[in-house]
């Protein structure tokens, strides 16, 4: 080991030691309102879990908020936002929310649909003409037995609905080994500093993974939806969302980049050895760029995102303002990829067993095959992101929780445990 590596390990160990000592006794704040059905004693186990995670050096810290009947039940501020700055977690800590961006982009699009400016059955080529010329990549065997990609025409146009339910055929290139995914990876679509318009043109030059409307396939669909929003609204994605959704909801710290120097120390960072978010490009909210990635580029705080989630729990309204019509809300929260839809599910079907998919959210449709089934009720809405952030909305219990953390490698295990602990504390 060279001297530089040795110094790095010593410094890292010292920073981790501080994070553990400063956060080992972190506790949640209870504010159980009348009518809420939670056990304070069982909620206390959440702090035990997170303190153990921090003590073992798995994560620097996390924030968990639970609300029921429109009021806070539990606020857990655990550990530090960054082992380098040693600053504690807070409700205004800024997190990369990764794919929890998708529900925000989807709601913004539905607001335009409510206004009559956009339709679910509109072809995407109406707004981005180059999408009319896209082809589907089909793997065929050559005479020597090798796989080759042949391009076939679209059987029907890609629609706005396809973008919102991930049935456009647009995929990701940072996982999987199909020839189309490899073509995405080889195209270097993140190179330079493209804006949303240029990024959409780069996608338009690539083959689709499958015919539109045939398979749930997670990918850049919501990035393209963000560009459609720009074309329809005449504004950048952020400026449309800021005026129509973020500012009215009081989400003042939600956006794509940290542009205020005074807020730089509010940004949560993962452990130094757990900083690869594995999404094909570097997620750095401290370096503003032209692209505003509607699929996974936003930053937010526990305070802000809880307001967004409360709006969804309340059927598209918040503080007396209606953001979504009843029809739009129903469209967003109804499964669109179920058995009778004719849509198959990709091998990496991220909603998971027992869940369908609406327009921006996973929707629980059945208990699933696990014995015992995971906790939660039918009609549950959820999503998470590669950075570790996660939310669950349970309309039956009039409850939601939002978990904010920055840990690409530990996130799924922690999310499962947190959900279990929250539901064990819920006294039905």
d(CA 250, CA 309): 12
**Residues in Cβ contact with 105 at an 8 Å cutoff, skipping those fewer than 6 apart:** 222, 225, 226, 229, 237, 241, 294, 295, 360
**Going by CATH, does the domain composed of 1-428 fall within 3.40.710.10?**
yes
**Residues in Cβ contact with 29 at an 8 Å cutoff, skipping those fewer than 6 apart:** 74, 75, 76, 77
Q: What count of Cα atoms within 13 Å lies in the side-chain half-sphere of residue 414? A: 33
The DSSP element (H or E) to which 7 belongs, if any, is: helix 3-23
| Tens digits of residue pLDDT in 323-336 | 999 999 999 999 99
* Crossing angle of helices 302-313 and 101-114, rounded to 10°: 50
| Tens digits of residue pLDDT in 98-126 | 999 999 999 999 999 999 999 999 999 99
Structural contact between residues 337 and 344, judged by C-beta atoms closer than 8 angstroms: no
Determine the pLDDT at residue 1: 42
pTM of the model: 0.93
Report helix, strand or coil for 339: coil
Residue 397: phi, psi to the nearest 5? -95, 0
Q: What is the chain's length?
A: 428
138: burial class by Cβ within 10 Å (0-12, 13-18, 19+)?
middle
Structural contact between residues 110 and 312, judged by C-beta atoms closer than 8 angstroms: no
Structural contact between residues 294 and 198, judged by C-beta atoms closer than 8 angstroms: no
**Residues in Cβ contact with 120 at an 8 Å cutoff, skipping those fewer than 6 apart:** 113, 159, 160, 161, 164, 331
**pLDDT tier, 14 (very low <50, low <70, confident <90, very high otherwise):** very low
Question: 265: which 2 tokens?
Answer: 């120390």
Determine the pLDDT at residue 175: 86
- Enumerate the β-bridge partners of residue 94: 267
CA 55 to chain centroid, in Å, comes to 27
d(CA 76, CA 90): 9
Sign of the C-alpha dihedral computed for residues 232, 237, 238 and 239 taken in this order: negative
d(CA 218, CA 206): 16
- For residue 3, pLDDT beyond 50: no
Q: Which of 85, 80, 30, 28 is nearest to 54 (CA)?
A: 80
The residue ranking higher by pLDDT, 168 or 11, is 168
Determine the pLDDT at residue 393: 98
CB atoms within 10 A of CB 276: 12
CB atoms within 10 A of CB 189: 21
| Tens digits of residue pLDDT in 238-290 | 999 999 999 999 999 999 999 999 999 999 999 999 888 878 778 799 999 99
CB atoms within 10 A of CB 406: 29
User: Per-domain residue ranges for the chain?
Assistant: 1-428
d(CA 183, CA 77): 43
DSSP state letter for 398: T
Report helix, strand or coil for 79: strand
């Amino acid at each position: 080991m060279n001297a530089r590596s040795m110094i790095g390990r010593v410094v890292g160990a010292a920073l981790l030691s501080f994070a553990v000592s400063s956060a080992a006794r972190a506790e949640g704040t209870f504010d159980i309102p009348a009518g809420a059905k939670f056990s304070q004693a069982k909620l206390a186990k959440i702090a035990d879990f997170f303190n153990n995670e921090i003590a073992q050096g798995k994560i620097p810290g996390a924030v968990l908020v639970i609300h029921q009947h429109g009021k806070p039940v539990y606020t857990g501020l655990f550990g530090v936002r960054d082992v380098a700055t040693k600053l504690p977690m807070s409700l205004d800590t800024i997190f990369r929310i990764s794919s929890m961006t998708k529900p925000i982009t989807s709601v913004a699009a539905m607001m335009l649909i409510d206004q009559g400016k956009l339709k679910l059955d509109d072809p995407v080529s109406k707004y981005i003409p180059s999408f009319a010329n896209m082809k589907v990549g089909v793997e065929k065997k050559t005479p020597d037995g090798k796989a080759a990609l042949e391009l076939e025409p679209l059987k029907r146009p890609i629609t706005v609905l396809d973008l919102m339910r991930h049935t456009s055929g647009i995929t990701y290139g940072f996982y999987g080994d199909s020839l189309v995914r490899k073509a995405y990876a080889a195209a270097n679509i993140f190179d330079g500093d493209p804006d949303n318009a240029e990024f959409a043109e780069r996608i338009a030059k690539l083959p689709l993974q499958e015919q539109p409307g045939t398979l749930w396939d997670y990918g850049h669909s919501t990035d393209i939806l963000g560009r459609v929003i720009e074309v329809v609204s005449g504004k950048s994605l952020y400026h449309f969302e800021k005026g129509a959704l973020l500012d009215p909801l009081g989400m003042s710290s939600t956006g794509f980049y940290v542009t205020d120097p005074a807020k730089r120390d509010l940004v949560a960072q993962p452990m130094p050895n757990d900083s690869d978010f594995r999404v094909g490009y570097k997620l750095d909210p401290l370096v503003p760029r032209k692209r505003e990635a509607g699929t996974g580029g936003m930053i937010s705080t526990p305070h802000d995102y809880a307001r967004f989630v409360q709006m969804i729990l309340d059927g598209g309204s918040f503080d007396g303002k209606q953001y979504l019509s009843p029809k739009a809300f129903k469209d967003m929260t109804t499964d669109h990829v179920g058995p009778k839809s004719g849509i198959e599910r990709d091998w990496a079907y991220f909603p998971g067993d027992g869940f369908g998919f609406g327009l921006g959210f996973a929707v629980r449709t059945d208990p699933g095959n696990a014995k015992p089934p995971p906790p939660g009720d039918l009609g549950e809405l959820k999503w998470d992101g590669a950075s570790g952030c996660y939310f669950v909305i349970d309309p039956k219990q009039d409850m939601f929780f939002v978990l904010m953390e920055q840990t690409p490698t530990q996130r799924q295990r922690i999310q499962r445990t947190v959900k279990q602990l929250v539901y064990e504390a819920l006294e039905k």
